[in-house]
Amino acid sequence: MRQAVLAATVEILSAEGLAGTTVAAVARSAGVHETSVYRRWKTRENLILDALTAEVDTALPIPDTGRVDEDLVRYFRSLARLLGTAQGRALLRLSVEYEDNARTSGNAESDDGMLDDRRGLYWSERLRRAAVMVRRGVGRGELAADTDPGLLIEAVSGPLFVRALLSGAPLDEPLVRGLVALALDGARSAPRR
Amino acid sequence: MRQAVLAATVEILSAEGLAGTTVAAVARSAGVHETSVYRRWKTRENLILDALTAEVDTALPIPDTGRVDEDLVRYFRSLARLLGTAQGRALLRLSVEYEDNARTSGNAESDDGMLDDRRGLYWSERLRRAAVMVRRGVGRGELAADTDPGLLIEAVSGPLFVRALLSGAPLDEPLVRGLVALALDGARSAPRR
């Protein structure tokens, strides 16, 4: 049942957008009772988040080519592509709206507390998965031993998120390569070590 | 009149948030007629954006210490501080909502087209101002001649925006210093040139 409901959710989301993705529509399309959906996911938002998470983790495999620069370019190329799709943007919007509500209401412990917590940490968790590419690079001696994996991932992913959310500037290959090169080599004119 | 209205807008925004910042409330507080406000700013959103822009440009001076690392740390420390305030977050939220509406409606030419365009480009314009720090660094020979000023500014500012909008992670001094150091020196273990 879970797979059918999640697939129906993604399909409706792509066709109808966030507003059109109701539990009723999903249940009808998946051939299950609305009450079964509510029993499992509690809220429409949890359902949508669960569906998009499954999609995103499929869309963002963690490469392991043996070279940190190549791994990073491949991974962030996938992220850039995802953020350019309707589904990627839907997920981003959902995350921003959630953060907003959580702060405005000051209500950290809502009725579905555990699921809400997971939702707030959604992108942090996706990025934590990506840090393994950096740790491998450190292990192979490609990167300095004191490299902060999380910070490096943030420095490359941050501009991609901002372009998707705020500026609308293109999310293309030169951008991805430029950001990875900057995070690996820096902008200084002289070598530092 | 302009100064009085903008000051009243910022004051109400800080006290009441976005929802409470109506043209009626602003006009009352500034001692002007509502119709005068509408004549000049056309919409509530334009008024709020104009007020926040004036505030932000004051909050984000462009330093000129003669060293690119010091300039960048000072500038992004100001940005991090701003994004931690209610006003900074209000502006970010407004930008995201606007981008969202613009894309959903596919309506690039609305009734107040020129002002809308300006709004969509709001953060791009703020960041373009900051690029002069990088160009000065290139001019002094501190940075490589082929440095892309806009990309470097995006790589440092992106994570700050993302933390403010999505993860809620702290916007502190170690983060700012770490991001500037990464953008200047990179993460590689060996010198590149």
| Start and end residues for every CATH 1.10.357.10 domain found in chain B | 58-185
C-alpha Rg value of chain B to the nearest Å: 19
Residue among A155, A178, A189 whose CB faces B182 most closely: A155
Give yes or no for B152 touching A (CB within 8 A).
yes
Q: How many residues are there in chain A?
A: 193
**Is the CATH number 1.10.490.10 carried by domain B1-41?**
no
- CATH 1.10.10.60 residue ranges of chain A are 1-41
pLDDT score for A79: 95
Interface test with B, best of A122, A165, A176, A184 (most B CBs within 10 A): A165
- What integer pLDDT is reported at residue A125 of this predicted model? 77
Which of A3 and B113 is assigned the larger pLDDT? A3
Mean pLDDT for the stretch of residues B101-115: 45
Q: B146 is written with which tokens?
A: 């082929």
Whole-number Å distance between alpha carbons of A160 and A72: 13
- pLDDT for residue B79 is more than 70: yes
Question: Using one digit for the tens of pLDDT, what is the confidence trace for B62-77?
Answer: 999 999 999 999 999 9
**b/e string for A108-126 if b means 16 or more Cβ within 10 A?**
eeeeeeebbeebbbbbbeb
**E strand or H helix that includes residue A55:** helix A44-59
Q: Which of B55, B67, B71, B174 is nearest to B126 (CA)?
A: B55
Q: pLDDT by residue (tens digit) across B130-185?
A: 999 999 999 999 999 999 999 999 999 999 999 988 878 899 999 999 999 999 99
Q: Three-class SS of residue A191?
A: coil
CATH class of the domain at B58-185: mainly alpha
Per-residue pLDDT of chain A (193 residues; tens, 9 = 90+): 899 999 999 889 888 877 889 999 999 999 999 999 999 999 998 898 888 888 888 889 999 999 999 999 999 999 999 998 877 877 777 777 655 555 555 444 444 433 444 445 677 777 888 999 999 999 999 999 999 999 999 999 999 999 988 878 899 999 999 999 999 999 999 654 4
| Other Cβ atoms closer than 10 A to B94 | 18
Q: Does the domain made of A59-185 have the CATH classification 1.10.357.10? A: yes
Residue limits of CATH 1.10.357.10 in chain A: 59-185
Q: Is A58 on the interface with B (CB under 8 A)?
A: no
Closest residue in chain B to residue A177, using alpha carbons only: B151
User: Which is nearest to B9 in space by CA: B40, B50, B56, B38?
Assistant: B50
Smallest Cα distance from B1 to chain A, Å: 31
Dist. CA B49–CA A127, nearest whole Å? 32
pLDDT, tens digit, 9 for 90 and up, residues B21-78 = 999 999 999 999 999 999 999 999 889 888 888 888 888 999 999 999 999 999 999 9
Residue B107, C-beta contacts closer than 8 angstroms, at least 6 positions apart: none
